[in-house]
Structure 1
Amino acid sequence: MAPNTGAQQGLLMHGFGTGAEQVAGVFRSALNAAAGLPGAAIEMVIQGPAVADLADDGGLARPVADALERGVSVLACENSMRSAAVDSHRLLSGVAPVPSAVVHLAKRQWEGWAYVRL
C-alpha cells in the first residue's frame, strides 16, 4: 500500500453489530478521535443489522447528531440496509449511504487512511 502523500489524513472507523448498543462505542470513540486528531477527516462506516438504528425511528439519533456536530461523517452500508429492510429515505439527517462497506473500507485504506474496527 502506498503512503498517504499530501492528501488529508483520515481515520476510518468500522462499526459492525446487531444493534445500537453494539455500535454505541464506535460513536464514543469517534468523538474522542475528533478531539484528539484536530484537522483529520473521520468517517464511521456502520455495517450489519445495526444500520436499522441509523433510521429515523432507530436508537442512534443523539449519537449521530453529536458525531455530525464534531465533523465526523456517518456512513451506512447499503448492502446491510437492504438486508435490514432500511430505505435510504429513512436514514437520519446527515447519514450518507455507501454501496458497500467492504469496498469503501478498502478504497479508503488504499488512499492511506488509518483503519480501526470497533
Structure 2
Amino acid sequence: MFKLLLHVDTADDRLGVALRNAGNALKALSGAPASIVLVANGPAVQLLGKANPDHAASLSALMAQGVVVRACGNSLNDFSLFPDFLVPGCEVVPAAIIELVRLQGEGYAYVKP
C-alpha cells in the first residue's frame, strides 16, 4: 500500500501545495491502494477553517476521496480555535509531533512541501 504523510506548519501557500500534492498522488495512483494523511500544526491550523475561501472546498473534496486531514490540538489551543472551526471531517490529534512520528513508524513517506 502507498502511504504518504504530508506535513504543513506554516500559514503560507504550503497548504495549497500539499493539497495539490495529495490530489496529484491520488490521480497518479489511479485507484491503487493508498493512505494519504495531511497533518497540520502551528500557524497552518488557521488555514483549515470551514470559512477559508482558499482551501475549504479542496479539503472537503480530498477528504471525500479518502485523504485524512489531522489538526494539532495543541496548535488549535495556541490560536484559541475550537474543533468546530475546522472543515467538517478534519480530525484533531492531541500533538502533531506524536502523530508525525507515529505515522513515519508505520511506514508513511514524509513530505513537507
TM-score, normalised on structure 2?
0.87
What's the C-alpha RMSD, in Å, of the aligned pairs? Answer: 1.5
2:45 equivalent among 35, 48, 51: 51
Unaligned runs of 5+ in 2: none
Give the number of equivalent residue pairs. 110
Superposed, 1:74-85 pairs within 5 Å as: 74-85=69-80
1:33 equivalent among 10, 21, 25: 25
Sequence identity of aligned pairs in percent?
Answer: 33
Superposed, 1:88-99 pairs within 5 Å as: 88-99=83-94
Secondary structure at the counterpart of residue 51 of structure 2? coil
Are 2:78 and 1:86 aligned? Answer: no
Unaligned runs of 5+ in 1: 1-7
TM-score, normalised on structure 1?
0.84
